Amino acid sequence: MDDLIREGPILTAILEAGKKPTGVRYFEMAFSGETTEKHRSAEIRIIGDDHSSVELVNSGIDFYTDENFVIQSEGEYDIELNDTEMGLRSSAHVVIPPAIHLLVQELDTVIINDPENTTNHAGLVQWTSPDPDLYSFVVKLENLEQNPIEINQSPTGQFQNRFTGPQLEPFLNLLKSDFQYLGNHKLTVYVIDRQFEQMFFFDAADLRGILQDGPENVKDGNGFVAGVSSFTIEIFIEE
Amino acid sequence: MRTSRLIISLIFLLVGSVVSSQTEVIIQEEFSDFRVSDVLQQLGEKYQINFAYDSFQLGKIRGSWKFDGITPAQALKMLLAETTFVFKSLDETYVIYQERAPDTDSDQDQSSEVSAIVSGEIRDSYSRELLPFAVLTIANSSCAVSANSEGQFTIDTALNESDTLEVFFVGYEVKLIPAREIRGKTFVTIYLSETRNFLPDVMITADGVSFLKTGYIPGLHVLNPSALNVTQGTGEADVMRAAQILPGINATQESSNGLFIRGSNNDQTQISFDGFNLYHQDHFFGAFTSVNANTVKAMNIHKGITEARFGGRAAGVVEIIGREGNLNKSAGQVDIGPLSVGAVFEAPIDSSGKSSIFIAARRAFTKVIFSPTYKSLFNTTYNAAVVTSAEKGTQTFGTNDPEFFFQDFNIKLSYRPTRKDFLNLSLYTSRDQLYVQYADSSDKELENPHNISYTDENYKKNAGASLRWGRTWKNDWSSTFVAGFSRFTGSFFSSDSINDLLFQTDSVRFTSELTVLDDFDGRFEVNRKFNGHHFVSGLQVNTISSSMKKNEVGAILNDTTRTGIIVSAYLSEENETNERLKIKPGVRVNYFSKTSLFYFEPRLLIQFELIKKTFDLKASAGRIHQFIQRTQTQSLYLNTPDYWWIAESSGKGILQSDQLMLGFVFHKKNWTFDVESYYKLTEGNILNRSLFGNSNVTVDLPFLIGQGRAFGADFLLSKDVKRHHMVLSYSIMKTEVNFMLYQLKNVPEVFDQRHELKLNYQLNLKRWDFSLFWVFGSGRPYTPVLGTYNFQLPDGEIRKLPVYGKPNSARLPEYHRLDVTAAYHFVLGSTRINIQASVFNVYNRINIRDIQYLTLRTSSNANDFTISKRSLRMLGFLPSVNLKFNF
């Protein structure tokens, strides 16, 4: 990348309901053949619609808070940045999606070779549904075992292929073939603002290889601040 | 530096070859049963005499002559004694031309009173075809009159016995007519002779040279492509390329898809052909225009603010008047180029000379013959549009030959039942069609686990028709009715067969898109002269319907039709009583059905003659609204056809442009120096979001809408000396657009080119024509990618995101190229033959059209990639040869 033009630095953050702000980074990019990220100092404050606010601490790598500042679902937050050195004031406004609650979980344990259930069906997971015009769901399945053992059947690990995009319906019909490993699994359902879909499922290349641009929502600056709610269930897989 | 020396040497070589003194010679020759043209050729060669003549016409006259120790002038008198040809000596050249008395066809006023108002028409002396926009001036006076698009004029200024009328038409010999010959007559037909050998082939008349003296229209240029023996371009005669010689009209795009005027996109220039609007304006993905040069009689190019009769496009108007058929005899023409073959046929329909037919057709033979010119053009234009990988070009010939062709067809019927009426029917169709397949085979399965076979099929076409009826009710008032219809269709179908190498699966993905635009334009206009005032008023109805259908793998993504009706009324006035100060105020009022609102457009054109016949000041100001914009341009890569978006009921999409122009024109002897500076304020500018990806806010449109300004100046210096014609153009400009809703300020327009310098030189030597065109342009803007950063999702996954710079914040390298053309014409029997060889981009400059960013996968993870920058090249060295046969 030779004839590049320097633009304003980039702010990123994730405001997840029930947690402290995470992934708060502020950096500029340096270009010398390869792109490198260079951390910048700035005053960063998060202000809630209940007038609660917190100034984040600069760790030298990212920004964090030790205070008991927890993001509330359906809360509205402004994240404000003041870079005195660059004379830059940027901000982002985020609405946290409503909390979702589990309604149905047909499966705690899935037995792959269950003589009473020889079908591929594993079970239904259903949760409460916020406004589908505003929000969608992202589901992630993670094996928690330190030394995971693969299921001795085929096919396996179909989950990633089946849920490649945002889900609009508030339920999942899980199959035995969705799982690749035995043992403890964590299924996380994120509810996200539909604007955030572009980030979750971002692919920089289209089919013909042309570079695509990603989403941004930082005013007077670059970057993205995401708001998200989630819940997690555990599923055990046995032979 | 070496290139500059070469150019200068070439110019001097060409100039020097014709500068020779001509001493009096005595001719001693005898010719028996010879053609006049052959006699002149032999005399010219043996006695070193310069003759300029139409060998086609003089080749039809045979005879025997004996020149016994006489001068060339005496010999010519003998030679032409029994013919309608005369001669005169001009600049060491004997110019032989057809003489027609100006009052051959005229009505004598029976009352014998001197009429203050004289109307008439101006025709070609050979074909009797009417000459649109010809100009009449009174010598030694500032009075001037312009013929209308049908070649008709009215002079309502009292003429003195000593007055002389000068009649001009680009590409024709200037005619001088003593006023006493037309006084007392109510109707005059004036015949002009085409100047094939002794005047510049293209005479571009800028403001103040001819047309400022007639129409007082700042920003107007007139072109006569039929006189274009020499063309620049990519193998096909191209009227848009010829127009690109002018300042303020971009010549560095290598596109003849309309005209890019003063930093505006080409959708802001209206192209009207015989009264209907053209939407398919190019062949071969912009390589040359879809307007067949053989069909064009005259082309008016208006930049910026125009008379009130024009409206609907913010940057300018190109008004093309198609050729009419020969009223004397049938004639034909065949053209053979490196890509296509064309033919023209014209003939009178009746024996009384009231009606004629003109037919022109052109069809590419690129489906069967892959000429080197075609291959070079195709590979450049197609590879620039289709991407496989960063360094790997698309292989379009050899394994899967593309199937591509273009064609266009024109018919014009002309009928003049009486001297007061004219009726024209003009029909037009054009089509470009491409079917191509190519493969992108992966040689790194882990990084790019797909083999893809692409199939692209697309076409775009335009059908147009217009009916024009005009009547001169009295000498001082006339009316014109024009109804035009145009249908543009663009279609894309792409099918990609994807073989997944990891999972060994096959899938097919297809997309299709069809856009159709119907444009009906009806106009009734009245011209009235009253007490030295010329009023032009009219009512125009323009109905536009634009639809888009988009499908993808069985799903209908879009199926919309938008319709808008624009009803316009206009009135302009010109005071013709003041010879020095010409003020032309006007107003145009548009009613737009989508918003149910009226849009007022005041217009003012001023010309002041500071020094008689030498120095004119000029100015224009006004407002223009544009209710339709092209928001999607044909893209082979994106598989999209052109789409024209009609403004919404909220007013979103209406482009409003307020413009001010100040300038002057200096004309002395053969020199013309024309300057126009301008300032434009616009609202409703469009910026395609795909240029830089997503914006900071969610919007419902694939583009941003802003407010902007543009300012700059156009300079034109031209000189005609003997057989040399030179045009030097320079433009300087700057554009800035603000998209405040999106926090974007001072964004340059895509076509913002700060500096553009152009030189066109033409030389006509007996049977040879030479042309040289050099253009330099500073870099146009593009949107750079600055790099990438990582964003960690709540689940811990990383997304690698590119960061684009501010839209249009980087500049491409400067552009320059040189084109040369040589043409040789001669007569064989009764056929006139023209052989033209041209070289586009002589010194093979690598010019860059755009910058494209590609992702290069470094693993099977879609987030592991590097960004590669690819420069899309424009055309390199491109020779071509054309043949033209007239019979």
**Residue range B181-217, pLDDT digits in tens:** 776 777 888 888 776 543 333 333 333 333 333 334 5
Tokens of residue B216, six digits: 């007082």
- Is the pLDDT at B587 greater than 80, yes or no? yes
Please, which residues 164-203 of chain A have a Cβ atom closer than 8 Å to chain B?
A: 188, 190, 195, 198-200, 202-203
pLDDT attached to residue A35: 65
Residue A195, φ and ψ in degrees, nearest 5: -65, -30
- Is the pLDDT at B703 greater than 90, yes or no? no
- The answer to whether the CB atoms of A5 and B809 lie below 8 A apart is yes
Q: How near does any CA of chain A get to the CA of B765, in Å?
A: 48
Question: How far apart (Å, rounded) are the C-alpha atoms in residues B46 and B75?
Answer: 14
Residue A178, φ and ψ in degrees, nearest 5: -70, -25
- Is the pLDDT at B754 greater than 80, yes or no? yes
Neighbours of A230 (CB within 10 A): 22
- Is the pLDDT at A208 greater than 70, yes or no? no
Tokens of residue B378, six digits: 């195709």
Query: Residue B123's pLDDT band (boundaries 50, 70, 90)?
Result: confident
Average pLDDT over residues B826-842: 87
Closest CA to A178 of A125, A230, A135, A228: A125
| Half-sphere exposure of residue B54: CA atoms within 13 angstroms, side-chain side | 22
Give residue B49's Cα distance to chain centre: 38
Instruction: Report the number of secondary-structure helices (H) and strands (E) in chain B.
Output: 6, 51
Q: Which residue of A has its CA nearest to B801?
A: A214
- Is the pLDDT at B449 greater than 60, yes or no? yes
Tokens of residue A2, six digits: 């030779």
- The answer to whether the CB atoms of B787 and A4 lie below 8 A apart is yes
pLDDT attached to residue B466: 96
Helix ranges, B676-831 (H): none
Q: Is the separation of the CB atoms in B832 and B825 below 8 Å?
A: yes
pLDDT attached to residue B209: 33
For residue B36, what is the enclosing H or E element? helix B36-47
pLDDT attached to residue B779: 94
- Residue type present at position B377: L
pLDDT attached to residue B693: 47
Share of chain B above pLDDT 70, in %: 83
Question: How far apart (Å, rounded) are the C-alpha atoms in residues B630 and B643?
Answer: 6
- Is the pLDDT at B519 greater than 90, yes or no? yes
Using one digit for the tens of pLDDT, what is the confidence trace for B530-574?
887 889 999 999 999 999 998 877 677 778 899 999 999 999 998
User: What is residue B72's three-state secondary structure?
Assistant: helix
- Residue type present at position B403: E
pLDDT attached to residue B827: 82
pLDDT attached to residue B440: 67
Neighbours of B619 (CB within 10 A): 18
Question: How far apart (Å, rounded) are the C-alpha atoms in residues B405 and B396?
Answer: 15
Give residue B549's Cα distance to chain centre: 31
Using one digit for the tens of pLDDT, what is the confidence trace for A91-146?
999 999 999 888 888 878 888 888 888 888 888 899 998 888 888 999 999 999 99
Question: Which residues in B lie closer than 8 A to residue A23 (C-beta atoms)?
Answer: 791-792
pLDDT attached to residue B599: 97
pLDDT attached to residue B103: 38
Average pLDDT for chain B:
81
Which of B8-17, B153-162, B175-184, B627-636 is predicted least confidently?
B8-17
Q: How near does any CA of chain B get to the CA of A140, in Å?
A: 8
Question: Which residues in A lie closer than 8 A to residue B439 (C-beta atoms)?
Answer: none
Question: How far apart (Å, rounded) are the C-alpha atoms in residues A103 and B253?
Answer: 61
- Is the pLDDT at B870 greater than 50, yes or no? yes
- The answer to whether the CB atoms of A37 and B790 lie below 8 A apart is yes
| Half-sphere exposure of residue A158: CA atoms within 13 angstroms, side-chain side | 14
Which of B419-428, B486-495, B681-690 is predicted least confidently?
B681-690
Question: How far apart (Å, rounded) are the C-alpha atoms in residues B717 and B728?
Answer: 5
pLDDT attached to residue B218: 67
Who among B509, B694, B795 is closest to A216 (CB)? B694
Query: Residue A76's pLDDT band (boundaries 50, 70, 90)?
Result: very high
Closest CA to B296 of B375, B350, B211, B239: B239
- Is the pLDDT at B18 greater than 80, yes or no? no
- Residue type present at position B256: S
Query: Residue B5's pLDDT band (boundaries 50, 70, 90)?
Result: very low
Q: Is the separation of the CB atoms in B713 and B667 below 8 Å?
A: no
- Is the pLDDT at B114 greater than 50, yes or no? no
Higher-confidence position of B235 and A69: A69
Residue A220, φ and ψ in degrees, nearest 5: 55, 35
- The answer to whether the CB atoms of A211 and B853 lie below 8 A apart is yes
For residue B46, what is the enclosing H or E element? helix B36-47
Share of chain B above pLDDT 90, in %: 29
Those residues with Cβ within 8 angstroms of residue B164's Cβ, 6 or more apart along the chain or in another chain: B138, B139, B140, B176, B177, B178, B179
**Would you list the DSSP string of B95-106?**
EEEE---TTSSE
Using one digit for the tens of pLDDT, what is the confidence trace for B75-108?
998 888 877 788 877 656 777 776 654 434 444 4
Q: How near does any CA of chain B get to the CA of A199, in Å?
A: 7
Those residues with Cβ within 8 angstroms of residue A111's Cβ, 6 or more apart along the chain or in another chain: A117, A238, A239
Question: How far apart (Å, rounded) are the C-alpha atoms in residues B813 and B781?
Answer: 9
- Residue type present at position A226: A
- Is the pLDDT at B16 greater than 50, yes or no? no
Question: Which residues in A lie closer than 8 A to residue B452 (C-beta atoms)?
Answer: 207
Q: How far apart are the first and last CA of chain A?
A: 52
- State how beta strands A43-48 and A76-83 pair: antiparallel
Higher-confidence position of B257 and B569: B569
Q: Is B789 at the interface with chain A, CB within 8 A?
A: yes
Using one digit for the tens of pLDDT, what is the confidence trace for B303-349?
999 999 999 999 999 999 898 998 888 899 999 988 889 999 999 99
Please, which residues 33-72 of chain A have a Cβ atom closer than 8 Å to chain B?
A: 35, 37
- Name B582's bridge partners: B607
The owner of tokens 């120095």 is B615
- Is the pLDDT at B230 greater than 60, yes or no? no
Question: Which of the 8 DSSP states describes residue B40?
Answer: H
Q: Is the separation of the CB atoms in B572 and B582 below 8 Å?
A: no
Q: Is the separation of the CB atoms in A38 and A28 below 8 Å?
A: yes
Question: How far apart (Å, rounded) are the C-alpha atoms in residues B397 and B451?
Answer: 19
- Residue type present at position B93: T
pLDDT attached to residue B654: 94
pLDDT attached to residue B55: 65
Question: Which residues in A lie closer than 8 A to residue B692 (C-beta atoms)?
Answer: 213
Is the pTM value of this prediction over 0.95?
Answer: no
Average pLDDT over residues B650-671: 90
Question: How far apart (Å, rounded) are the C-alpha atoms in residues A40 and A34?
Answer: 19
Question: Which residues in A lie closer than 8 A to residue B854 (C-beta atoms)?
Answer: 205, 209-211
- Residue type present at position B30: E
- Is the pLDDT at A190 greater than 70, yes or no? yes
Question: Which residues in B lie closer than 8 A to residue A212 (C-beta atoms)?
Answer: 693, 802
CA angle B336, B337, B343 (to 5 degrees): 40
Question: Which residues in A lie closer than 8 A to residue B799 (C-beta atoms)?
Answer: 199-200, 202, 214
- State how beta strands B85-90 and B164-168 pair: unpaired
Which CA distances in Å does A168 have to A131, A132, A162, B427?
Answer: 10, 6, 14, 53
| Half-sphere exposure of residue B218: CA atoms within 13 angstroms, side-chain side | 32
Highest mean pLDDT range out of B364-378, B538-552, B778-792? B538-552
For residue B760, what is the enclosing H or E element? strand B755-765
Reported in sequence order, the residue ranges of B593-626 that DSSP labels E, i.e. its strands, are 597-611, 615-626
Q: How near does any CA of chain B get to the CA of A138, in Å?
A: 10
Q: Is the separation of the CB atoms in B238 and B293 below 8 Å?
A: yes
Higher-confidence position of B415 and B208: B415
Highest mean pLDDT range out of B125-139, B145-159, B349-363, B366-380? B349-363
Neighbours of B639 (CB within 10 A): 22
pLDDT attached to residue B552: 78
The owner of tokens 């002559």 is B65
Closest CA to B467 of B428, B431, B417, B409: B428
Which CA distances in Å does B472 have to B148, B150, B355, B475, B571?
Answer: 12, 11, 18, 7, 19
Reported in sequence order, the residue ranges of B351-420 that DSSP labels E, i.e. its strands, are 355-364, 403-415
